Amino acid sequence: MVDVTGKPEVLREAVARGLIRLKSETLELIRTESVEKGDVSGVARVAGVLAAKNTSGLIPLCHPLPLTNAKVDLRVVEGVGVECVVTVRTRAQTGVEMEALVGVAVALLTVWDMVKQYEKDERGQYPSTVVEDVRVVSKVKGK
- Exposure of 68 in the CB half-sphere (CA atoms within 13 A): 8
Catalytic annotation, pick one of 3, 73, 113, 133 = 113
Q: What are phi and psi of 93, to 5 degrees?
A: -90, -5
- Is 113 a catalytic site residue? yes
Nearer to its own copies, 66 or 79 (CB): 66
Piece of the chain touching its own copies by CB under 8 A; list 26-34, 78-86, 99-107:
99-107
Scanning 22-30, 78-86, 128-136 for contacts with its own copies by CB under 8 A, the matching segment is 128-136
**Contact flag: residue 109 with its own copies (CB under 8 A):** yes
84 belongs to the binding site for its own copies (CB under 8 A) = no
- Per the rule left: phi > 0, alpha: psi between -120 and 50, beta: everything else, 17 is beta
Which of 21, 81, 15, 77 is CA-nearest to residue 52? 15
Query: What is the set of active-site residues?
Result: 113
